[in-house]
Structures are given as structure tokens and as C-alpha cells.
Amino acid sequence: MALAFGHPYLQSGASSMSVHSATALLVQPDDAFGPFKVANPHGAVGVLDQDRLAGVRAHLGTEPPFTPVTSTVTSTDDGVSREGSTHVTLDRALPDLALSHLLANVDTVFDAIGPGTAELRWVVEGTRASGEPFTLDVENAYASQHDIAYDATFDAQDQILSIQQNEFEDVEITGVDYTATVSSAFEQYTVSSVEVRRPDGTYQQPPSESSVPVPAGSTLDVRVTLAPYKNQGDAVTVELSADVPDDAAGSYGWVDIAGGSDSDGDDLHDDDTDDDQPDPSGNGAQEQSGADAEDESDGAADFEGLLDDLTGLVPNNSVSATMNIETENETGFNVERSTVREATDQVVTGSFSFSIDIVE
């Protein structure tokens, strides 16, 4: 029997979906949609290339080519580890089936739907239109209060989809491999306070009603305090230093402090509200997910640039300081951004912004 009958991925004329033999167990009555067979599938016996109202068509005797998806998942709770393997025979289903593969293996090892943390590495290999091989190798960390297995899977899926649907050249993904560790311990930091170094070497919180004067050509030193979730554990201090351009005197600007992928390059500053003020209690913790692959690929000029953008996914376990300097020119205003970033041992959430005036 053809297990792919009626599958939304299969269209008229499509090829490379595998056909499998199966042992029929029973015919299940169904007054709403009609009876159907329940069966145990076996190995591939051919290629399915048509799905019509009257039935499906298959060419038997030749197995379709496939893309291997593999994973090694380890639980730090009990040391249980498992290797998984899936053969994907329909290219356009690869992003979804790779996600399903990873989710199934993490669920098997984690053996629960619940909060936790995870570290994930994904390696995507393929060939470009020229035949030259390419490799995407990315790592990220995740924390979820609901379902860590589910929440840790989407960055990789987004990136596989971005590669497949890139507008620059025809590429082929030849393999996807995941390495993951998962824990039931939910841990993350939240941006708790931000201090700026003064000329005398001391630190103070930036004022909420005025701007911090920063000399052009100097270094802006910022100290960020990260509070652990529910104050269980020690707070962590991260120091970030941003260079102020020599020619920026007289310009207005602002600095965005953000945890993880909250620092996606967007303007976090809002002059009309105080929502960006840090929560000293650390109770503003929330789940952290990765940046959308579509956002990461904005501005890429070619496939090489797309790979660079995807590789540059902002780690969730990091703190960033983005200096935004606004200058006026003949066509209006221009904002120049520069970012410095430090890695941490846990996922970081939260953001904070303050204004700066670039002075002589």
C-alpha cells in the first residue's frame, strides 16, 4: 500500500516520495470520511509520482534518493542518550520532517512534556549550483517553562527553510545532523540593572529623564547585572564596552541592552514609555526563542551572504549592547549601529535602553 496517499506535499507530477509495502491489520469503519486500513509499514519498494482522485501511481522496484537526517540527544538528568535517523525522500518536506525528527528524538530521551533547558547544534550540508559543497554549523541555547523539546526546534527548521527557499541559486541539502543536550532544570537570567561608567571610574544607573554625555572617540563602558530566575542562585555581572566614533560629536543616540535574540537589531528605545526600564526583582522572566530566519537573512546579497547571516544567529545565552547614533544628512536622518556581545552560561531575557549625547 502507498502510505502517502492524499499527502499535501505530493502534487501532480511530483516525484521522489517513497512507496512502502505494508501488512494490513484491519479496516477501520468511518461513517464520516469512509473506511481506511490500519497497517504496519515495511521497507521502500518504489517511487510514488501521482496522487489523483481515483488513486495513486507508483513505479515499483526503484527506491527514491533520500536526504539523511540524524541526531544525537543526551539528557543531563540521567545520562540517557539516543541516536536517531530519518530518511527524507521528498525535498520540500525536509524542513518539517527534520523538525519532527528532532522533536521525536528529544521527546524520547526527555520522556516528558515540561520545562527545562537545552543546548542544540545543527549542521546542514549541501551542494551549491556550481557543485561546490557548503556547510552551515550553528549552536544555540534554549529555556522553556512549558515544553523544552518543542521550543528548541524552530530555529533549525527556519534556517533549513531559508536555505531551501533562497532566491539566489539552486542548492541541494544533502544532510542534516543535530547534537542536543536537554535538562529538566529551568534556568535563565533576566536583565536586572544597567550601569554606565563615569569619568571618575565609578558606575551609576543612567538617568531616565535625560541623556548620558559621551565624548566622541571615547569608550562607553556598561555594566549589566543579570538576575537568576526567581533569584535562585547568584546574580551575574557582564561588562560591555562600545567604541564611540571620533566624528560623532553633536549627534544624538541611544544604547540598547538586550538578552539573547532580543538584540535582533530593532530599535528597542521608546521615548514615550518607561517599559524598557529593567525589573530589579528579576521577575520579568519569560521564554526565550531564537530569531526568525527571515530576519537573519534580511540584506543578504548572495547565497554566501545568506549563510553568513544564518551562521550569525544571535545566541540566546548572550548579552548585547547596541549603540545607535543618529546623524542628519541631505536626505534626512541616518542611524548607524554597532554591537558588542558577551556569551553567558544561561539563556538571557529582557532589555533596557538609555539615551546618549555625543559631545566633544
List the chain domain ranges. Answer: 1-64, 67-183, 188-359
Q: How far apart are CA 278 and CA 285, in angstroms?
A: 11
What type of residue sits at position 24?
A
Consecutive 10-residue averages of pLDDT for the chain (360 residues): 43 64 94 94 88 88 91 97 94 95 97 96 98 98 96 97 97 98 97 95 93 95 97 95 93 95 52 39 35 51 96 96 88 88 96 95
Q: How far apart are CA 317 and CA 349, in angstroms?
A: 9
pLDDT at 222: 98
Here the cell at position 142 is: 534554549
- Fold (topology level) of 67-183: Dna Ligase; domain 1 (3.30.1490)
Here the cell at position 166 is: 533562497
Here the cell at position 300 is: 543578504
Here the cell at position 84 is: 536517531
Work out the number of other CB atoms within 10 angstroms of the CB of residue 354. Answer: 22
Q: Look up cell 549625547; give the residue.
A: 357
Identify whether the C-beta of residue 19 lies closer than 8 Å to the C-beta of residue 44.
yes
Residues constituting the chain? 360
Q: How far apart are CA 52 and CA 69, in angstroms?
A: 29
Instruction: Report CA-CA distances (Å) from 289 to 44, 235, 351.
Output: 37, 22, 15
Which residues are bridge partners to 336 per DSSP? Answer: 325
pLDDT at 323: 96
pLDDT at 120: 98
pLDDT at 298: 55
pLDDT at 263: 62
Report how far Cα 306 is from the mean position of its chain's Cα atoms. Answer: 15
pLDDT at 10: 52
Which residues are bridge partners to 178 per DSSP? Answer: 71, 122
Which residues are bridge partners to 60 per DSSP? Answer: 46
Q: Which residues fall within 8 angstroms of residue 169, CB to CB, at 6 or more apart? A: 128, 129, 303
Answering whether pTM is above 0.85, one says no
Q: Look up cell 511530483; give the residue.
A: 14
Q: How far apart are CA 220 and CA 294, in angstroms?
A: 32
pLDDT at 245: 93
Instruction: Report CA-CA distances (Å) from 112 to 84, 98, 108, 184, 260.
Output: 18, 20, 8, 9, 26
Which residues are bridge partners to 48 per DSSP? Answer: 17, 58
Q: Look up cell 530569531; give the residue.
A: 291
pLDDT at 52: 86
